[in-house]
A and B are shown apart, each in its own frame.
Chain A
């Protein structure tokens, strides 16, 4: 005989083991088999939008002139009845200045740190649990946050200054006309209130970057594609995230070489500040006052109006001029 006889038990054990693994392999293949897979089809994702306006607050527009950016911001908020109009105790507020570039405050490429600090202070006093100051910068975030003076000023005023973290972007379906799935920084999906703090400055493509253009900074990913249909994209952003309050800093206005600037020769001291709960009207007002632009020259305003996001005729809403 060429081999020894094996016992029945041995036979059962050995074939059983092989059969067990074989069954596992066949069963696994059966269960995991997918005839056709379409991993990129995500049509069923419900569109997300965030309306962070406070119900029952009448839309108004404040035009403030003065000698100190912080005091001007304070005056505007007081005219709305104080920050408690907007922020309730325990809420999370995200304050978004423009911190896009590695530039000093006097170069007017980033929001004035005095304005940011004052808004943060008022939110803290109104009892906000968290006041987060953040922006998705263009240049190296460490340099932008610090050279702009915003990190230090906001931290001192009691804000949680958050340098963008790459793990914190979430892809959501904005359901806009141009913008579908976009990477949005997660704080904007979680916060209770959102205060938009742009600086009015020149921009090569749209001539001026104001409130809605500042919403660019909530996105990560390949956001530079937005320039292809900039006006529709801005309105999609504005419809996706409706701010509690917009304050346009125009203490210094960059008139050329925007949005980065660099030369003080391109900066004009205007010593002004606008505030409104209506994001279309405030863009219309800022465009007219600082860049001499009519609503026709700012096509995003007309689009926003048609989408029901406000009015491009800023004089239609109650306006107060304040000097401090």
Chain B
């Protein structure tokens, strides 16, 4: 048995270990998207790990935001590591690092979903559908050229982060909390003694966070499951045929100096290499190897008993192509279609022209156009929000803005001193803020000198539902929760006559729009279930000087200090 066989089996194990490591790292960072408990009033809440790392390493995020915004935000330069590696080695990211690729590979190798024999061999042969991904890439980069970042829907890291954070983890939380609740209160007769250790383990080890719920998860889940199930029919169908990041790395891999060398004289045509091929790139001698589709998984060389194929630097390029077999015309047409899609999307009502009243963006969000040129819908902001306040949109931001973040105060309000969403946003769609810049609660002792707060909207009463206004009941919970100083919610004392003809004195609330920051704490706390008696709309938001009611708010700071 040739020594290269042993060497490649070791290399294949290294690849598996690397995949496992990065997959675990991905989940670890996902779970760390949170603040730790602090020890003193002076400590600033911080996230202890670089939780958005995978998105920052993602070359597609970097390249598309550069095209859309002409700048490389914060840590997005880290993608250069992957780009440089790919230029020399090929698509190592897909085979060795990408958590989405690893999950796809795991599903594809499950016994029940595995194709057998000839069928499998046939499914692993290079096919023209593998060019679709380049079309998708050209399309989304074309849209980026027009300043719209549609890549977020299909970028694998954004897609995986979103699916995990908004669907899988919340489901996990429900499961563990139900288990905990059961172990605390169940009555199993003589076996109840077992419940205490179960409760302890569940609480100490399994429970990761409070339960959260999200809008839109059904659609997100359906797409994610579709991608995973496709592996039952074609191994890594997503990676081979659809992934725009794979396509981008495929283009970069054209200059790779590492490649497959085929030795037809040693080959016995056993086809084992092709049976285990992840990329569908034709490793077997006699067919053309597609460098741009190879994930460098090392399965082919590790299964070849004859040394008929070998990975070498500067290989002989027989039976090999480094080209992306798409015509220039096809690429340009698709990119053009991407460019043209953006005005088509913007011809419909959209937040830039006619702001949807319910589209309250997180604090620090850029003006809508710039926001959409950066937001990749990864869901990091929604994952980190301590109050479960941020949710993916459906049509509130137009078709262009699907799954971008919006505040839903009925579920959770914007925590006055919290700026975590702005810190985890990998692309700067939400500008990185400090507590002082957000300035909803000026630092103790500096109330007088603090400037205006960063508003995200304004609250309004529905007097037809408000208890003191419509039902002659005492309430003003909204006033209790209002975080500004002085409170934006104030009340008048009113005399009302009850149904029985008795006089009652009640406190009836009002909003002062000059003081309201739009946090939605009032909506959250409002005891009127169903539609709340106080709701927040985006009007008055700092980021949009046209979306205003009050004249004075346009005059900036001088007006704020009146």
A residues within 8 Å of B by Cβ? 102-107, 138-140, 142-143, 145-149, 151-152, 163, 165-168, 170, 186, 203-205, 222, 224-225, 227-230, 256-257, 259-266
Apart from the given pairs A227-B474, A264-B445, 18 other A-B contacts in the complex at a CB distance below 8 Å: A105-B41, A140-B386, A140-B415, A146-B37, A147-B38, A149-B41, A163-B37, A166-B210, A203-B480, A204-B476, A204-B507, A227-B477, A260-B482, A261-B485, A262-B447, A262-B484, A263-B442, A263-B485
Contact of B35 among A104, A138, A142, A163 (CB under 8 A): A142
Contacts of B476 in A (CB 8 A): 204-205, 227
CA distance A224 to B527 in the complex (A): 6
* Of listed A143, A167, A229, residue having the most chain B CB within 10 A: A167
Nearest B residue to A161, CB-CB: B37
Contacts of B484 in A (CB 8 A): 262
B residues within 8 Å of A by Cβ? 35, 37-41, 43, 45, 177, 180-181, 184-185, 203, 210-211, 386-387, 415-418, 441-442, 444-445, 447, 467, 473-477, 479-487, 491, 507, 525-527, 529
Contacts of A138 in B (CB 8 A): 481, 525
Contact of A170 among B185, B387, B479 (CB under 8 A): B185
CA distance A103 to B442 in the complex (A): 11
Q: Does the CB pair B483–A260 fall under 8 Å?
A: yes
CA distance A147 to B39 in the complex (A): 8
Q: Does the CB pair A260–B529 fall under 8 Å?
A: no
**A140-B415, A143-B415, A227-B527 known; A165 vs B203 contact (CB < 8 Å):** yes
Q: Does the CB pair B474–A151 fall under 8 Å?
A: no
Q: Does the CB pair A143–B474 fall under 8 Å?
A: no
Q: Does the CB pair B211–A228 fall under 8 Å?
A: no
Contact of A146 among B41, B181, B445 (CB under 8 A): B41
> Is chain B's interface secondary structure helix, strand, loop, or mixed overall?
loop
CA distance A138 to B479 in the complex (A): 13
Contacts of B526 in A (CB 8 A): 224
**A106-B444, A140-B387, A224-B526 known; A259 vs B480 contact (CB < 8 Å):** yes
**A142-B38, A167-B184, A227-B475 known; A262 vs B481 contact (CB < 8 Å):** no
Q: Does the CB pair B38–A146 fall under 8 Å?
A: yes
Contacts of B35 in A (CB 8 A): 142
Contact of B480 among A103, A166, A168, A204 (CB under 8 A): A204
CA distance A138 to B181 in the complex (A): 22
Selected A-B contacts with CB under 8 Å, 25 pairs? A105-B41, A106-B445, A107-B444, A139-B415, A146-B37, A146-B39, A147-B38, A149-B40, A151-B38, A167-B177, A167-B180, A168-B184, A186-B184, A204-B476, A205-B474, A205-B476, A205-B480, A225-B527, A227-B476, A228-B473, A228-B527, A257-B486, A262-B441, A262-B485, A264-B444
**A140-B386, A204-B476, A257-B487 known; A102 vs B41 contact (CB < 8 Å):** no
CA distance A204 to B441 in the complex (A): 19
Contacts of B441 in A (CB 8 A): 102-103, 262
